[in-house]
Every structure is written in structure tokens, then in C-alpha cells.
Amino acid sequence: MTEVKAKGQKPSGPVGAKRRVVTREQILTVFPEQTLGVHRSFAGDVWAQFKSHKGAVFGAAVFLTIVFLVFFGPMIWTIDPTFVDIRSRNQGASFAHPLGTDQLGRDLLARVLSGGRVSLAVGLTAMALSLLFGSTIGVIAGYFRRMDGPLMRFTDLFLALPLLPLLLVIVMLFREKLSGVLGPEGGIFILMVSAIGLTSWMQTARIVRGDVLALKEREFVLAAKSIGTPSRRIITRHVLPNVLSPIMVSATLGIATAIITESALSFLGLGFPPDFPTWGRLLFDAIDYTRDYPGRVIWPGLAISLTVLSVNYIGDGLRDALDPRLRGR
């Protein structure tokens, strides 16, 4: 219960009369919680705004379902994706093989689940490398004026390069060398992650640089400079925490870009070896059988499309949720 009484005001009415008592619910009908000092955390605001974006919630549900299936599905569906059964080749959907089999009798469901694990691993790892490289260049270029020109010209140079031909050249030059040192699977994985990560950092660098340029003129940064705080400490304590929002949005979009790029390289036959399935490799293997067995193209293509679409929706929702101009709406 809350008593309402103005400061310095004498009680009105006859002496000994009871003062009016107002409940909290009645106050909340007039004043919102924000004006009453009710604590609202940053995470709570972000989650409330994210939940209001139906596309982002749907995308998050689809993406988490795909992640669960590709990482825990092989524990339930225990058929070896590389097991060859010539007598069962080119079969349609059945109880034993829900998605059918390929030209060598390998189970397509097991290969789609196993391929998704590799494709997602490449996407997440390449995204992390791209994010690290792009954020570092963006922060340095935005905070240190002398480094801004050279680093941005370096970024423009990479933006001007044709991405797919550059990736093809990198893969063709280093594929055999890395495969001989780290093995076919390990060498191709390192090559894919490095090639995709080091050719997709430019957008992140430009976005982070723009935010840092605005932040370094803010009062709290100028105050830290005035008391002699080192630049390294200002960047780690004041600048980086305030540019996490665009970095997180770039991370979600970077996953989609990396998955599409890996699938494109595998589809062109420059990815993982045939006995190491990925979604792009499954599409490549199904080229000659598209007319007679369209399911071989539909299932891995649908997995790629749903993953990329769901990640893009999540990025859209995060962008709105992390925007302070939209969180209170």
C-alpha cells in the first residue's frame, strides 16, 4: 500500500480525518513502470524486443532445430553415412531409408545429417575468424586516425577483388599441400575456414569503424583521455563494449555467408573429398541424377535454404533488439 502526500503540504480536510490510501495497481494505471524506478536490465529489454519480432523467433526455432538434428541426430539415426550397399542403390523413401539412397546405396538421411555438421562447423569457425579480423581492423582504423587511411584502402582493395575466383585460386594453390600435411579432411577444413574467413571480413570492418568514429567523440571517452587513460584500456573498457551490437549482427549474417560459400565451393568440386559429405558436396554428387531422383537435390538444398533463411531472420531480429531507439517501443 502507498500513501500519497505532497511534500510540505498540510493535510486537507478536518483534523483527524483519514488520508487517502492508493494501491500500487492504481498508480501503475496512471504511471508506467519506467517512471517509478522499476529496474529493467539490458538483457531483459533485448529479449523483450527480440520476442516481438515474429520472424526472428521463428528463425531461432528453425535454426536451433537444425543444430539439434545435425549434432544429435547421428546418435539416434546410427547408420554410417559412408556405408556402401550396392544392392540398395537408387532407392526411394522407405522405412529403412526415409530419404532414400544414392547411387552407391548410402543412406541419404545419414549423409544429410553428417553433412550438416561439417557445413555448420565451417560456417561458425569461418565466421569467428572473419569477426576477429574485421573487428580488429575496424577498431584500429576508427580509433587511430593515422591508421584509418591505410587500413580502409586495404579494405577497399579486398572489396574490389572478385570473391569466388579468388577462393578458387586459393583452394587450387594450397589444397594438395595442406592435405599432405594435415590429411584430406583436416587440410581441406583448415583451407576452407581460412579462405572464407580471410575474404569476408570487410563489411564487419567498415561497420565497426563507423561506430568507433562516433564513440571516440563521446563525453565518457574524452573524459577517460583527459585523465591519462591508455588507449588500450579505453578500447577494451569503453569502446569494444559499445560496438558489440553491430558485431553480433555481423556474426549472424557471417554464418549464412560462410555456409553458402562452402556449399558453392563443394558444388564446384573444390571442397571436401567424396567420402566426406557436406551439403554442397551432396548437391555436387546429385548433378547427374537430378532428373531421375530429384530428392537428392531437394533435401540438401532445403537444408541450406532453411539454415541461411533462419540465420538471416535472427540477424534481423538482433539488429532491431539491440537498437536503443527501438527497444522501448
CATH number for the domain spanning 206: value is 1.10.3720.10
Give the pLDDT score at 21. 63
Residue 329 has which C-alpha cell? 517501443
How confident is the model over 268-281, as a mean pLDDT?
A: 80
Give the pLDDT score at 30. 53
Report yes or no on 144 lying in a domain: yes
| Separation between Cα atoms, residue 185 and residue 187, nearest integer Å | 6
Contact 49, 321 (CB under 8 A): yes
Q: Which phi and psi angles does 107 have, rounded to 5°? A: -70, 125
Distances in Å between the Cα of 296 and the Cα atoms of 68, 97, 232, 263, 284 are 22, 13, 53, 15, 10
| Separation between Cα atoms, residue 286 and residue 298, nearest integer Å | 10
Give the pLDDT score at 61. 94
Report yes or no on 222 lying in a domain: yes
Whole domain around residue 170: which residue ranges?
A: 41-327
Decide which of 61 and 7 is more confident: 61
Give the pLDDT score at 268. 79
Report yes or no on 302 lying in a domain: yes
Using the predicted structure, report yes or no on whether residue 41 has a pLDDT greater than 70: no
Summarize pLDDT for 170-207 with one digit per residue, the tens. 888 888 888 888 877 788 888 889 888 888 889 889 98
Report yes or no on 161 lying in a domain: yes
Report yes or no on 36 lying in a domain: no
Burial status of residue 163 (CB atoms within 10 A of its CB: 0-12, 13-18, 19 or more): middle
Report yes or no on 198 lying in a domain: yes
User: For the chain, what is the domain count?
Assistant: 1
Report yes or no on 24 lying in a domain: no
Using the predicted structure, report yes or no on whether residue 230 has a pLDDT greater than 80: yes
Decide which of 250 and 212 is more confident: 212
How confident is the model over 14-27, as a mean pLDDT?
A: 57
pTM above 0.85, yes or no: no
Summarize pLDDT for 49-95 with one digit per residue, the tens. 778 888 889 999 999 999 999 989 888 888 888 888 888 888 888 88
